[in-house]
Structure 1
Amino acid sequence: MQPKTPFQQDVDAFLDYLKFEKNSSRHTLSAYTRDLAKLTVWLEAQALFSWSDISEKRLRYWLAELHRQGLQSKSLQRLLSSVRSLFRYLNRQGVVEGNPAKGLSAPKASRKLPVTLDTDQMHALLENSDDDPLVVRDQAMLELFYSSGLRLSELVGLNLESFKEEYQQVKVLGKGGKERLLPVGSKARNAVKQWLTVRATFPVKDEQAMFLSKQGERISQRQVQNRVKRQAQEQGMPTSVHPHMLRHSFASHMLESSGDLRAVQELLGHSDISTTQIYTHLDFQHLADVYDKAHPRARKKNKD
């Protein structure tokens, strides 16, 4: 077995620190291991002998080379974060004096605009008069997604006691354990009440859960995803529909109607308004499409 290089020994010590002292998750440890393996391979290829030989300039060239080789921005950002953390550890251990990765940043990833359904498509998706118990349950879930902009995890986590003021409000537990109180529209209220009359016929294993599987357990995220997709297919939707698309549609339609970015931010539970601002880009794209189709000087001339 080939002996470990000093670089690899220090990396292994750092990974042990993460595992035994920081109690990092298996997923986190796996990501750090992959990232730092790239670093040690590069260091050996550079014929460097000491951590102090690694300068900010050298790291910048390395990141640029990885980017040219096709490593995406998100992966580069995570890699850089791993290298920064390693150097912070080495600094505390007295192995290095500074952190050459501190001033570096990865290229920003281009942000994809969310896919949404337009209002006509949403109305078509929500039009359902089937009285099958599972369909009644699905209808209540769909209405809540669109009425209140819930995340999938928030909907699955709802309890009977989550609803307030005669089902006009719902309390959800969002990211980071943050609670927020959201309004519930009249269509969603009616759908929820109809589901509750049907819920009593289900074998109840989870007394608190708002939405149950047919076995009486709290419905899973995967089940909700499958049911939303199925409902969309039955309604002839032109695209694959998932729960987050309904949240995107809620946000886009609310912003288009109100223009109140702060209010939409609060409703969605975004801690940073820049996350909400993506919907302004979506709204502008819609306006630009309308402009291109409608403005006399923007329309392409028809060929004779």
Structure 2
Amino acid sequence: MSDLPEPVSFHTALEKFLDHLRSQKRSTATTIAYGSDLEQLKKHLDERRITQATTVRTEHLETYVEYLATQNYTPKSISRKINSLKTFFKFLHREKIVPENPAHPLTHPKYETKPPHILTPAEVQSLRDAARLDIRISAIVELLLQTGMRISELANLRVEDIRKNEIHIGVLENNPARTIPVSRSASVAVQNYLAVRPKVTDPHLFVTKTGRPLLVRNIRTSIDRYFKKAGVKDAKVNDLRHTFIAHQLRQGVDPELIHKHVGHRRLTSTQKYLEYITVDVVETHTRLSEL
């Protein structure tokens, strides 16, 4: 008898992988991104009559990566797609769907990491002014600015997660649950929103006028629109998280405290921001500073 696994189509393997992501409560955006990357690989393999996940070899994937480089993808985009391939085939190997992981030998292209875009106080104020009449977006802006939480975490918040002077952030995308303090201005903004929030049964904190959860892409589009209205150029919603972290470090807040607050897996992820800022104080603080 052969020890080789039974042939499994790429389509079936992909569906198993996406089901696994959903079972792990990975965000919709993450699942869609993986699906898009792997469907692109599937199309490439189909054109070469490679339809079984069990017959994919390292040389097939290397050829695919070389193909991406000819299609005007940036090294950073190619690196992200390689991550998708590695995660996918690592799952298939662990589940004994493929005999070995063909993506393991793949290497990432080198590229320069851009420094985080940290908003100036004037840009922060311009954004607040631009969104002031939109109570829902004002609350979102304040939460992102005053907590540094991820946009996916904000979209996943439930009304019951809002507590007096703190917010509970549940497990999401392998990030552990945590409870974080909330500044007075963010708390006021959220309470103002709750006063006008549609009376619907959906438990999500931020919902549309029809009572559906506000998705990450909806939030991103809205914030982008208000950045444009505020005249803040080249800014993205993730810059609010960068700005929170940089502000706390400037104020001398202990990096260990910030690291736990924003949910960084490694302390070095927080410490890297020190390369781009000047710390304004000498002593170290153990309380977060309001932005």
Aligned to 1:175: 173
Find the counterpart in structure 2 of residue 263 from structure 1: 257
1:122 maps to which residue?
124
Once the two structures are TM-superposed, the CA of residue 67 in structure 1 deviates from its matched residue by 8.8
> Structure 1 CA distance, aligned partners of 2:199 and 2:128?
27
Q: How does 1:137-176 map to 2 (within 5 A)?
A: 137-164=136-163, 166=164, 168-173=165-170, 174-176=172-174
On the 8 A contact 2:118/2:242 being kept in 1, the answer is: yes
Code of the aligned partner of 1:171: H
Q: What whole-Å deviation, never above 9, does each CA across 1:1-33 have from its counterpart, x for those lacking one?
A: xxxxxxxxx9x8562662476666854642442
Distance 1:154 1:94 in 2: 34
Q: How does 1:240-259 map to 2 (within 5 A)?
A: 240-258=234-252
**Percent of matched pairs sharing the same residue:** 20
Cα deviations by residue, 1:133-177 (Å, 9 ceiling, x for unpaired):
xx222222211110101222222222221022x2x1101134326
The number of aligned residues is 249
Mapped pair 1:75 → 2:70: no
Counterpart among 104, 107, 110 of residue 105 in structure 1? 107
Aligned partners of 1:163 and 1:171 also within 8 Å: yes
When the two structures are superposed, what TM-score results if normalisation uses the length of structure 2? 0.64
Maintained 8 Å contact 1:59/1:101: no
Q: Provide the residue aligned with 2:219 in structure 1.
A: 224
Q: Note the residue ranges of structure 1 that are not aligned, 5 or more in a row.
A: 1-9, 42-50, 288-304
Letter matched to residue 169 of structure 1: E
CA RMSD of aligned residues (A): 4.4
Map Cα deviations across residues 189-213 of structure 1 (whole Å, 9 max, x no partner): 12222222x32xx542235232232
Provide the C-alpha distance between the structure 2 equivalents of 1:61 and 1:137, rounded to a whole number of angstroms.
46
Counterparts of residues 33-52 of structure 1 (less than 5 Å): 33-34=42-43, 36=45
Deviation at 1:266, TM superposition (A): 1.6
Given that 2:223 and 2:237 are in contact with CA atoms closer than 8 Å, whether structure 1 keeps it comes out as yes
1:284-295 to 2 correspondence within 5 Å?
none
TM-score, structure 1 normalization: 0.62
Q: Which of these two proteins has the greater Rg computed from alpha carbons?
A: 1
Q: Which amino acid counterpart does residue 144 of structure 1 have in structure 2?
A: L
Which residue is equivalent to 2:275? 281
Match of 1:45 in 2: none
1:82 to 1:195, Cα distance in 2 relative to 1, 3 A: closer
**Contact kept in structure 2, 1:212 and 1:219, CA below 8 Å:** yes
Q: Where does residue 28 of structure 2 map in the other structure?
A: none
Distance in 2 (CA, whole Å) between partners of 1:180 and 1:136 is 26
Correspondence 1:30 to 2:33: no
Tell me which residue corresponds to 1:195. Answer: 193
Q: Structure 1 residue 185: deviation in Å?
A: 0.7
**CA drift at 1:263:** 2.4
Tell me: CA distance 1:276–1:31, structure 2 relative to 1, closer, same or farther (3 Å): farther
- Mapped to 1, the partners of 2:39 and 2:157 lie a distance apart of 32
Deviation of 1:248 (Å)? 1.6
Taking a change above 3 Å as real, the CA distance of residues 27 and 229 of structure 1, as seen in their structure-2 partners, is closer
SS at match of 1:109: coil
User: Are residues 63 and 183 of structure 1, via their aligned partners in 2, closer, same or farther at CA, if it must alter by over 3 Å?
Assistant: same
8 Å CA contact retained: 1:117, 1:246: yes
CA drift of 1:107 comes to 2.9
* 1:154 maps to amino acid: E
